[in-house]
Amino acid sequence: MQTDKSKKVNLKDKMSQSYRIILQKNPNFEEKGVVQFSLSQLVLTLISVMLLLIFLISALIIFTPLRGLIPGYGDLSHPRKIRELSMTLEDMEARIQANETYTSNFMKMLVDSVQTVEQAKAEHITATNVTPEPIEKVKEDAEIRQEIAFSQQAQDKAILAKSSSNNQGIPLERVYFLPPLTGPISAAYAPSSKHYGIDILAPKNTPIKASIDGFVIQADWTMDAGNTIGIQHDNNIVTFYKHNSTLLKKLGDRVKAGEAIAIIGNSGELTDGPHLHFEIWHQGKSINPADYIEF
């Protein structure tokens, strides 16, 4: 016990014992300075210097660009780069989604993987109970669409003028129309309410076929009718296929009767569920497709 106490006393004495450092100048040993300290003072000084260094290094890392040199911090200090990467990622996701939708619809069309008519009816009834949200129209967008419409009208007139020379004058009753698809009619022909065609229900991914031979005079998207295809036929007959999910033909393509031209969908404002809006125009006047085709 006495030995332990003596060790503690000796350590305390050593820590409190003073030391002196004398600075002398050669060769005459002239005294230039004296530094006096104890071991406890030296330890406290070293600890203080270490804490100060830790604080300064931490401040440099946290409040200066030096933290960019530490893995895991560099990218987070560049918000503009993050925004650019985010926009690029969103664009890539949109492109991938569009490609997947197109591929899925095309493959389902090839393997005839579609819904039943009953499922399509149920989906149409459900969709009719949903009120679509109004879309705010932009002035610049309307002007651009008007310019496109004028250009399309001029092109259609040229095509119609060219086709009129081949007009065979066959009575409409003698023209054989193929049904673009088979299904129940959900909305009849009603020109008095500006419904110049009929609405036909069919399962998802059902291909829509050309009713008779002709060439495509319209293949684009409109705000009201969505993805629309218009086909010019002989005998001054024009057919329109509206609200498609995907178009399989482009402007100027020649199509044969029964050839797939689109996939049924629900695009555009004037629609309340997946269906085909089908119109037949003869010599500039609409006619009831149900009078000439069995659906």
Q: What is the pLDDT of residue 165?
A: 46
Q: What is the pLDDT of residue 220?
A: 92
Q: How many angstroms separate the Cα of 44 from the Cα of each of 40, 41, 49, 136, 185? A: 6, 5, 9, 73, 94
Give the whole-angstrom CA distance, residue 269 versus residue 64: 54
Give me the chain's average pLDDT, please: 78
Kindly report which listed range (90-99, 143-152, 205-214, 266-275) carries the lowest average pLDDT score. Answer: 143-152
More confident residue, 283 or 122: 283
* Residue among 264, 261, 230 at smallest CA distance from 244: 264
SS3 of 166, please? coil
Give the whole-angstrom CA distance, residue 138 versus residue 142: 6
**H/E stretch holding 285:** strand 285-287
User: For the structural domain made of 139-291, what CATH number should be given?
Assistant: 2.70.70.10
Q: What is the pLDDT of residue 290?
A: 93
Q: Please list the residues that pair with 30 across neighbouring strands.
A: 25
CA count, 13 A, side-chain hemisphere, 7: 3
pTM, two decimals, is 0.47
Residues 215/156, Cβ–Cβ less than 8 Å: no
Binned at pLDDT 50, 70 and 90, residue 166 comes out as very low
Rounded to 10°, the helix 2-16/39-63 angle is: 70
More confident residue, 163 or 193: 193
In the chain, where the domains are located? 13-69, 139-291
More confident residue, 6 or 258: 258
Percent of the chain whose pLDDT exceeds 90: 35
Give the whole-angstrom CA distance, residue 14 versus residue 73: 48
Q: What is the pLDDT of residue 102?
A: 72
Q: What is the average per-residue pLDDT within 42-49?
A: 88
Amino acid identity at 106 = F
